[in-house]
Structure 1
Amino acid sequence: MSATETGDSMLVQVERDGVVLVLGHRVGEGRPLLIVPGVMADAVSWQPVVDALPAGRPVYVLNRRGRRPSGELGDGYGVGTEVADLRRVLDEVAGRHGGDGGVDLFGWSYGGLIALEAATRHSGVRSLTLYEPVVRPFGAQVLDSLRAADAAGDLDRAVEIVNRDVSGFSAEYVAELRRSPAWQVLRPLAAPLGRELTALNEHHADLAAYGKLDMPVTLLVGGDDDGVGPYWEPFARIAGAMPRARVHVIPGQGHLAHVQAPAALAAALTQALALA
């Protein structure tokens, strides 16, 4: 692992099978927290949550492969690729902090699925917090459209598809988003989207294995998604498989609290970590 430090933060690099994975890192003392974003997100987009977390503990945010400055998805990409990456990162992060204390792991959306799978395969995960994790089937109805957009190199169309046809946002919302500076940030993040959703829908989650996890688990759901919307069904399936997990609702939020209410999400995460 190598690191480039700037003030109280740094970029950390981990290599696995020739692919470089880059993490944002807030320095600190004690047991580290590792954040795994989902699709259409990277370490930069999660920085407001990191900034809102109480100072002190070290925090890492993984730029999963397929988003800069990490490497490309590579041949044979699947959920197994992501899980192997995360297990490697967990080893390295734990090693930076003595190893014995383990790592608190947080995953959002597709990153939540990856975190779940890694937690069943890595003894160093001390607690697990998941914000609206997803399992198959999810977004399968848009795969053909996403593949067509990818073949045409049309990142604008890919951003539109994920917001309108997966997340269910209105045409007015997407039109306003297109006019905002955020659109240009989202375009490159959409490049791996088709392959990521394909991998998600090809992966058979072992729900029974999730229920056997013996570390503290907190499942976060936005109040606006509680019982409704495209993210509720996969969340409910995972929650049903993990009856010992604590479920916490973030009032007034949907799937994007890291963008729309980072302080509220940081507060919910902090509360979960206090119970670990």
Structure 2
Amino acid sequence: MVVATTSEPTTSAPSLRRQYARNGAAYHERGEGEPLLLIHGVGMRLEAWAPQIEALGVSHRVISVDMPGHGESVPLAKDSSLADFVAWFAGVLDALRLDRVNIAGHSMGALVCGGAAARFPERVRRVALLNGVFRRDPVAKAAVMARAASIEEEGVDVDGPVQRWFSDDEESRTPRLLTRRWLSLMDKDAYATAYGAFAGGDSTYADAWPTVTCPALFLTGSGDPNSTPDMARQMAALAPRGIAHIVEGHRHMVNLTAPEAVNALMRTWLATPETSS
């Protein structure tokens, strides 16, 4: 069941019209055809998928969702785990009456999509992880856990993510400004909950990739220091139908900084037969 309404812009950037599902999820829908559900990363909102919504909405029914506590979606309980976000994701599928769907996630959204492919594979046609993390090494794990712990006292960090996620080049200027704006709009408690699940969730469903038999795309930027190319290759090697693509010269927000390359790779992924010959 869905309640449709029109949301007012909440940022200085163009805002996409939202609808609201019964479970409190806010989403934007465009196009017709086979459904593709998109979920963004921590601190972002559904507008972060704007280049993919525009390009892939030509051939697919593209549904971009605000993660709990982000944009206009209702937050989850404080200290919710990755498993709770995956359960919420299943609730979105139920609320939108999506029996089987293509799913793509970025960063934290990639962890959610990986969990969905592990927990309810019968509902997943294809899965794509953009800039996903996988079994961080001890140094990276300590760093991300420290960042999660600091949110309670220091609030939402805007500068740190922008510095990690982008190169300091003119071509990335607009995505940098948008990302900074979206981070500045975040509620601290919702951010802390999502970031805590992200920090602690890199191994939650890591063992499940050998059982995920649908087409699986693992994509990241060559310069992403946290969702590294090695992580993408490791997951692709484990998934029976996994494939890794590394976009050279880009970092974490590769879908915004290299939209044409990402859109082309996603089109190829969406055209892959669901079952292997």
TM norm. shorter chain > 0.5: yes
Distance 1:54 1:76, change over 3 A: closer
Contact kept? 1:143, 1:197, Cα under 8 Å: no
Residue of 21, 26, 29 corresponding to 1:25: 29
TM-score (normalizing by structure 1) = 0.79
Q: What is the match of residue 110 of structure 1?
A: 108
Offset of residue 130 of structure 1: 1.4
Amino acid corresponding to residue 74 of structure 1 in structure 2: A
* 3-state SS in 2 of match to 1:185: helix
Contact kept? 2:85, 2:112, Cα under 8 Å: yes
Runs of 4+ in structure 1 deviating by more than 4 angstroms, as ranges, are 168-173, 179-182
Taking only the aligned residue pairs, the percentage that are identical comes to 24
Q: What is the match of residue 202 of structure 1?
A: 200
Contact kept? 1:10, 1:26, Cα under 8 Å: no
Amino acid corresponding to residue 21 of structure 1 in structure 2: A
Question: How far apart, in 1, do the equivalents of 2:160 and 2:193 lie?
Answer: 14
Distance 1:181 1:4, change over 3 A: same
Q: What is the match of residue 262 of structure 1?
A: 259
Distance 1:171 1:87, change over 3 A: same
Q: What is the match of residue 211 of structure 1?
A: 210
Distance 1:181 1:257, change over 3 A: closer
Aligned length: 255
Q: Which runs of 5+ in 2 are unaligned?
A: 7-15
Offset of residue 65 of structure 1: 0.3
* 3-state SS in 1 of match to 2:59: coil
Distance 1:134 1:104, change over 3 A: same
* 2:51 is the counterpart of 1:68: no
Residue of 106, 114, 120 corresponding to 2:118: 120
Q: What is the match of residue 2 of structure 2?
A: 2
* 2:245 is the counterpart of 1:248: yes
Residue of 184, 204, 212 corresponding to 1:187: 184
Question: How far apart, in 2, do the equivalents of 1:75 and 1:251 lie?
Answer: 37
1:160-187 CA-partner distances (Å, limit 9, x unpaired): 23334xx3767899xx89x946533321
Amino acid corresponding to residue 238 of structure 1 in structure 2: M
Contact kept? 1:3, 1:11, Cα under 8 Å: no
Aligned-CA RMSD value: 3.1
TM-score (normalizing by structure 2) = 0.78
1:94-109 alignment runs, 5 A limit: 95=97, 99=99, 102-109=100-107
Distance 1:262 1:181, change over 3 A: closer
Distance 1:186 1:59, change over 3 A: same
